[in-house]
Amino acid sequence: MIPMPPDELTRIDGGSDPDIYLGYGERLYAEFKSRNLIPAKDARVFDIGCGAGRVARHMQPDPEFNGYYLGLEIDPRDVGWCKANIPDREGAEFHFIHADLKNDHYNPNGTPVEDYQFPSSSGWFDFVFLLSVFTHMKPPAIRQYLTEIARVLKPGGHCYATAFLVDDAGEVTDNEQKACYLSTDFMVWIEESGLRLVDQFKLGRQDQLVLAKPKED
């Protein structure tokens, strides 16, 4: 059984609560499965902003997940904990990488995000997800991430992302502790990246976005 991480690593939405940490990851993984976003065999999954394994801990013991998982995280404490506590198993590999990226709240001395490329070849992943990541990013960084997601996804692959989206320009803020953007602007950024919106709905306070990379003709 995978142990619980230290309380300081169970943060969700700025708070540290082990029960919320467990429930959040379990709920989102169930959502992915219910939508058939993860292939049944030889899946390649990329978790951007994996934290302390909040989703990976539910994937690791699940016999229905078979394939390769890569978690990317800016907090080296999370990466170290995941490497020590979320092992490979028969039929599934789990890898965790530290991204030394700048974030005014989490990592002020890191490398600027705008030119960052994900550690993957093009067209490699079946499924990419990022939870509460765009909620801490400025527009140039979001656009770069969307472009990179489109690059690393296979044609026909999917992305699941969360964001704070509004219809009133007066509610927009690019504060990296809680970034909130116009829905119309975000849709333009998605289109510019080469991805397309498949579904959008609310779960809790955030908009849930299901995106896809179009299949090749």
Q: What is the pLDDT of residues 82-100, one digit of tens each?
A: 999 999 999 999 999 999 9
Q: How far apart are CA 173 and CA 138, in angstroms?
A: 9
Rounded to the nearest 10 degrees, the angle between the axes of helix 139-152 and helix 183-193 is 40
The three-class DSSP label of residue 117 is: coil
How is residue 124 annotated by DSSP? -
Q: Pull the structure tokens for residue 127.
A: 């499924």
The pLDDT value given to residue 20: 84
pTM above 0.85, yes or no: yes
**N- to C-terminal Cα distance for the chain?**
45
Q: How far apart are CA 69 and CA 45, in angstroms?
A: 5
Show Cβ contacts of residue 122 under 8 Å, excluding neighbours closer than 6 positions.
151, 152
Tokens 């119309």 sit at which residue? 184
Alpha carbon separation from 192 to 149, 184, 198 (Å, rounded): 12, 13, 15
The pLDDT value given to residue 216: 81
Arithmetic mean of pLDDT over the chain: 93
Q: How many CA atoms lie within 13 A of 6 on its CB side?
A: 8
- Domain locations along the chain: 47-212
14 has pLDDT over 70: no
Amino acid at 92: A
The pLDDT value given to residue 21: 85
Name the nearest CA neighbour of 25 among 62, 63, 58. 58
215 has pLDDT over 70: yes
One CATH from 3.40.50.2000, 3.40.190.10, 3.40.50.150, 3.40.250.10 for 47-212: 3.40.50.150
Sign for the pseudo-dihedral over CA of 206, 212, 213, 214: negative
122 has pLDDT over 60: yes
Positions of E strands within the chain = 11-12, 15-16, 43-48, 67-73, 92-98, 125-130, 153-166, 180-182, 196-203, 206-212
50 has pLDDT over 80: yes
